[in-house]
Amino acid sequence: QVSGDVRAPLHAHASRRSPPTEMLSRPPTTVEQRFRRTKHKTNAHKAVKIRKAEVRKIKFTISKGQGPAVRKADSSLETSRVAFIGAGFCAGQPTDGVSHGPSALKAAGLGKAVRALGKAWTEQEITFPDVDLFEVCPDAGLHRVKDAVESAAADRAFVLTVGGDHSIAAATIAGMASVHRDKLAVIWVDAHADANTPSTSLSGNYHGMSAAHVMGWFEETPLGFEWLPEGGCIAEERLAYIGLRDVDAAEARMLRKSNVTVFSMHDVERLGIGKVTELALAAVDPRCERAVHLSLDIDAIDPLVAPATGTKASGGLTQREIIYVCTELALSKRLISMDLVELNPDIDAPGDPSTPPMHGDHPALSAGLSPTVKLAAECVIAALDGSGNAMR
């Protein structure tokens, strides 16, 4: 059942993303069940032929000691500067608080932590007009994000854009594609595909359409989005999903017909996060030569671990799994930009400043952080440093 007007146009005042009517695979288990089942996985090292699933179009064979290279270094993509772009855009969905993501991460000490890695840190905040303007002009200032990202990328900085909702991915990917063109690949980590179009979305919320928009699936360009090429800015075969588990029927149908690579949470359980990350990178960059953009939605993580997001879906990635993805992308030496979106500090579990830090916590981060804000900061650090709190 859908609340609000299901016939609503592309605007911010309808319901959330369209409610799920079709899942990619069997319902995922809880975090606790997955931990109990981990010891029973015995075939990860054996030759396994990946079967064709509902949405996947993967043509690799997993073999012991074989498979696509993941950590091929390309020194031309490395940089010692991080450009933080605060993009608290919240007009793509109806929940208050998501605009506070950038300020929460800065207050958490993320800039200090990045400097401790030996990287320069610059900050820029993008302001947006009143949300009500979204009904008149759906862009509502997203072109400012695109321009800021494009400028930072042209200046050869690592571009870190913190939202805000997932609408900003249309702007960040468009900005990165303006600089890297067909040498850009995207890893999209999310519980949702965000692959609806204005004609298929039941809610009209743009944050559930941004992936479709950058792939050129819209039938016509919405008012104000003339800055995004009509045919899209990223080819289907250069985008791979990790962690999907809450997908609308229309999205699933379009994904089946596409060249997009999809790894659902069922795939993560069946293959392991290591193999999924390896195959996702190989799918979008088989020759290990493209620049990689990570679009990370906090709701990809299980809400038991990261509750501060507006569109929760149970059975998501564990804390260790999301850190692993960020770490491996950093170790590939091809990760050049990152979105972190849908973080809503207003609904996070409270932090306790009196709680002593754990061994392995980054010393530059503030004490007593709320759990989702802390994990979001740790994801960024892992994506920049590649340490993953482990010796390598």
Residue with tokens 């919320």: 205
**275 against 363, higher pLDDT:** 275
β-bridge pairing 48-49 and 61-62: antiparallel
pLDDT band at 250, cuts 50/70/90? very high
Q: Say what the pLDDT of residue 78 is.
A: 80
Predicted model pTM: 0.82
**Count of beta carbons in the 10 Å neighbourhood of residue 235:** 18
Percent of the chain residues topping a pLDDT of 90: 63
pLDDT band at 302, cuts 50/70/90? very high
Backbone angles phi, psi at 147, to 5 degrees: -65, -40
Instruction: List strands edge to edge, sheet with 184-189.
Output: 120-125, 81-87, 158-163, 335-341, 291-297, 184-189, 239-244, 261-264
Mean pLDDT of 180-195: 97
pLDDT 10s digits, 146-163 = 999 999 999 999 999 999
Domains and CATH numbers, the chain: 82-391 (3.40.800.10)
pLDDT 10s digits, 105-143 = 999 999 999 999 999 999 999 988 765 544 545 567 899
Residues annotated as catalytic are 166, 190, 192, 194, 207, 297, 299, 342
pLDDT at 231 over 50: yes
- Max intra-chain CA distance, the chain: 56
pLDDT at 57 over 60: no
pLDDT 10s digits, 59-72 = 333 333 334 444 55
